[in-house]
Amino acid sequence: MTVNPSGWRPSTPANEEGETQTVTGNRALMLEEPLLFEIGSTEQSGVDFPKFETNSGRLGGLERNRGIGLAGLSEPEAVRHYTRLSRQNYAIDLGLFPLGSCTMKHNPRLNEKVARLPGFADIHPLQPQETVQGAIELINQLAFWLLDLTGMHGVAMSPKAGAHGELCGLLCIRAALEARGDKREVVLVPESAHGTNPATAAFAGYRVENIPANKAGRVDLEALKARLGPDVAAVMITNPNTCGLFEPDMKAISDAVHAAGGFVYCDGANFNAIVGKVRPGDLGVDAMHINLHKTFSTPHGGGGPGSGPVVLSEALSPYGPLPFAARYPDGSFKIVEEEHAADEHPTTFGRMVAFHGQMGMFTRALSYILSHGADGLRQVAEDSVLNANYILRSLEDVLDAPFGDTGPCMHEAIFSDRGFGEGLSTIDVAKALIDEGFHPMTMYFPLVVHGAMLVEPTETESKASLDQFILALRSIAGRAKAGDQSLKAAPIHAPRRRLDETLAARKPVLVYKEPEPAQAAE
């Protein structure tokens, strides 16, 4: 095969499936896009710079002594390259994103507009506080909404993500235990909890012990009670759990843990399934993080820092981190920092971040809350549960639903690979979904279900979009149960075929190397 000067590699007339191929590799408007280095050249630039000499040695001998090795492109080439790449990326704005546990839902454009308003988008954390009173008031107002919705006593707004919030909660628990001279060292984590829970507990210096699930996919209450003792600092429980099921024994769990002198941490990643319906504080929870992207529709990760506020019980509030937003009797607002801590928050465990949170995420979340109101937020939970149960009942005749006979699920439906033909597995179904135009669901998690497929439609999907997804998945599931080995080749229609993901993770190619020139046959 020859390579033309532009770097394009002409395709063969047909691929191994016998499909007709184009000379360019393009498929109509799905354009084949080479690497940046295959388009441009490291010997040229898309911009002309005059040559100049400088004698200033302000870098102390650390000046660059060779080229940076990036391919030079003209402006049209650069724009087209990245636009074409963006068209190969799946996004919530393209279609249903059924990742279970991740809650990938529509981000209302109203939220984006509000987040870009002057006074929110253009402020700096080191500005004098009297110049950003509106922004601090917004943080304070969001905090009170979170307290009202959860029935808790205090809230730490500064944690930057769910796992960061978990760490915040455990540090509050540790501070409370130390204040009473109690050196407990064990955190219990059920099998149905999120995977970050045991990792966070270990990071915080605790020894992690597992609590099994019962046949209904919930925490085994008796096993939990049997393990409680004077060495148990806390239980980290996810509710609704990662099987998409509500823990009906939550209050009994909290009562037992408190009676044993421990604290209850609830992973609030799935709060969107119960917001406006259940207040975790009423269930005896001591600390719970809230992923603003999951429940209140801020972008997943926020294009940078996420946001994971932590609500705290009355027992833990005195130990929450700095800084925090406070309102004073004269109507002013203030971010309380270290210099005021001795008077206003003397038992804090300290800081978790340099400043006071992620302003863009706070603004978007409050916009979502205010646009919905209390009744609208209740409907968020109801619709997310309705959509998940619609998927569960529409697919349970073609996919094994391990907990389908225990009653309705919550915000996500879980299936297993039971009944698939020989040699076929969950990953084959997931790759075939790509051919149908869908991002795959979460695979092989949670571990309590073999070959798990965890589907979360969220409340922002219409029945029409759910029906299209169900149609695609029913077809693929039927092929898997019939032993259709062609699923092993999926995806066929994607820009790239199935990759060796294990090899790619273990031996990633991070540096571009010029391919060896093709030798003409003699």
pLDDT, one tens digit per residue, over 471-504 is: 999 999 999 999 999 999 999 988 888 988 899 9
For 110-365, CATH gives: 3.40.640.10
**Contact, 437 vs 444, CB < 8 A?**
no
Question: Which is nearest to 320 in space by CA: 169, 463, 152?
Answer: 169
- Which segments of the chain belong to CATH 3.90.1150.10? 379-506
Q: Which helix (H) or strand (E) holds 415?
A: strand 413-415
- Residue 342 pLDDT exceeds 90: no
* pLDDT tens profile 70-91: 888 989 999 999 999 988 888 8
- DSSP string of 234-290, one letter each residue: EEEEESS-TTS---TTHHHHHHHHHHTT-EEEEEGGGGGGTTTT--GGGGT-SEEE-
Structure tokens at 246: 């509500």
Percent over 90 (pLDDT), the chain: 69
Mind giving me the DSSP string for 448-472?
TSTT-EEE---TT--HHHHHHHHHH
- The Cα–Cα gap between 20 and 359 comes to 51
Q: Give mean pLDDT, residues 310-338.
A: 92
Query: Of 92, 119, 106, which is closest to residue 360 (Cα–Cα)?
Result: 119
Q: Could you tell me the pLDDT band of residue 10, with boundaries at 50, 70 and 90?
A: very low
Q: Is the pLDDT of residue 8 over 50?
A: no
pLDDT band of residue 522 (cuts 50, 70, 90) is low
Residues of the chain with CATH 3.40.640.10: 110-365
pLDDT for the residue 4: 41
List, for residues 438-474, the tens digit of each pLDDT value: 999 999 999 899 999 999 999 999 999 999 999 999 9
Q: Is pLDDT larger for residue 47 or for residue 310? A: 310
Could you tell me which residues come within 8 angstroms of residue 171 by beta carbon, excluding any fewer than 6 positions away?
Answer: 204, 319, 321, 349, 352
Helix (H, G, I), strand (E, B) or coil at 32: coil
For residue 12, give both structure tokens. 């063969």
Residue 100 has pLDDT above 70, yes or no: yes
**CA dist 508 → 34, 38, 132, 299 (Å):** 18, 19, 45, 28
383 contacts 462 by C-beta, under 8 angstroms: no
The residue whose two tokens read 């009297």 is 130
Q: Which two tokens stand for residue 330?
A: 């004269």
3 has a pLDDT exceeding 80: no
Beta bridge partners of 210: 189
Share of the chain above pLDDT 70, in %: 93
Q: What is the mean pLDDT of residues 267-280?
A: 96
Q: What is the distance between the alpha carbons of residues 224 and 394, in angstroms, rounded to a whole number?
A: 35
Q: What is the pLDDT of residues 205-217, one digit of tens each?
A: 999 999 999 999 9
Average pLDDT over residues 24-51: 83
Q: For 359-404, how does the pLDDT look when each residue is reduced to its tens digit (9 = 90+)?
A: 999 999 999 999 999 999 999 999 999 999 999 999 999 999 999 9
User: CA 216 to CA 439: how far, in whole Å?
Assistant: 29
Q: Are 230 and 261 in contact (CB under 8 A)?
A: yes
d(C-alpha 390, C-alpha 470), whole Å? 9
Residue with tokens 């209450």: 221
**Coil, strand or helix at 432:** helix
Pairing state between β 413-415 and 453-455? antiparallel
Confirm if 232 and 184 have CB atoms less than 8 A apart: yes
The secondary element (H helix, E strand) that includes residue 135 is helix 133-150
Q: With respect to CATH, is domain 379-506 assigned 3.40.350.10?
A: no
In terms of average pLDDT, the best of 50-59, 159-168, 300-309 is 159-168
Kindly calculate the radius of gyration of the chain based on its CA atoms and give it in whole angstroms: 27
187 with 167: CB under 8 angstroms? Answer: no
End-to-end CA gap in the chain:
14
Dmax of the chain from CA atoms? 90
339 pLDDT above the threshold of 70: no
How many angstroms separate the CA atoms of 457 and 98, rounded? 5
Answer yes or no: are the C-beta atoms of 349 and 296 closer than 8 Å.
Answer: no
- Nearest residue to 236 (alpha-carbon basis) of 294, 173, 304, 293: 173
Span 139-144, mean pLDDT? Answer: 96
Q: Is the pLDDT of residue 301 over 80?
A: no
